[in-house]
Amino acid sequence: MPVSISHLFEQPLPPPRDLEGWYRVPIVESHEPMVDLEDAGFQVEHVYYRQGIPGSLPRCLAREAVVARLLQARALLPQGYDFLIWDAYRPLEVQTQLFQRYKAGLRERYPFLSEEELVLRTQTYVTLPSTDPHRPPPHSTGAALDLTLTRDGTPLDMGTPFDYFDREADSHFFEDAGEGRELQIRNNRRLLYHVLAAVGFKNYPHEWWHWSYGDQMACVGSGQPAIYGGWRDQTR
């Protein structure tokens, strides 16, 4: 049965999770296959493929259990609501391109920062590309999703566009909203948050759109190992 919208709107978001040392969570790979999200019935935009990012794919893939949980979350949504997927599995080449692109933008804005400081600041929004099997970028595991909500096919107002890298993208930014558009943004973010959290997804606190299940970032603090490492199969 779909959940009550008003009930979800009344529930404040829990405090942001502490992700310190997330990359130290051990990985016990499940070897679960990838599933095409469009084949599973979801609307997908293929954002990076449309942008021509080298290495990007014309398909949107995620691990089997991730897609299964997203289907469970969809069943909780009120009538007329659905998910729109922007990104899921991301080849390492794409991760590298996005990291370098964002770092270059920061270098223009903050020319006084050292290379080390730029790398650290870039990682707030784009995970460091890594071939270390013990530290795969979340999107390179097939466990992470970038998504939003739609109503009758129209994306809801979430306060920022996808890949907006500033404080307003923090999931909690509009939690103290009082009225008008900001209150609606808060309610939209709460709806997204609560239906995904209800089926086991975990949010990255600096990006309201980033959710994952079974990767290191999702498992930090749980005492459980991650079940998804970097995906090495041929996906083109």
pLDDT digits (tens, 9 = 90+) for 24-65: 999 999 999 999 999 999 999 999 999 999 999 999 999 999
Measure the CA angle with vertex 150, ends 144 and 151; round to 5°: 155
**pTM for the whole structure:** 0.94
Handedness of CA 77, 229, 38, 154 (dihedral sign): positive
Instruction: State residue 49's pLDDT score.
Output: 97
Where are the domains positioned within the chain?
5-219
CA 118, CA 232: separation in Å to the nearest integer? 29
CB of 160 within 8 A of CB of 138? no
Determine the CATH number of domain 5-219: 3.30.1380.10
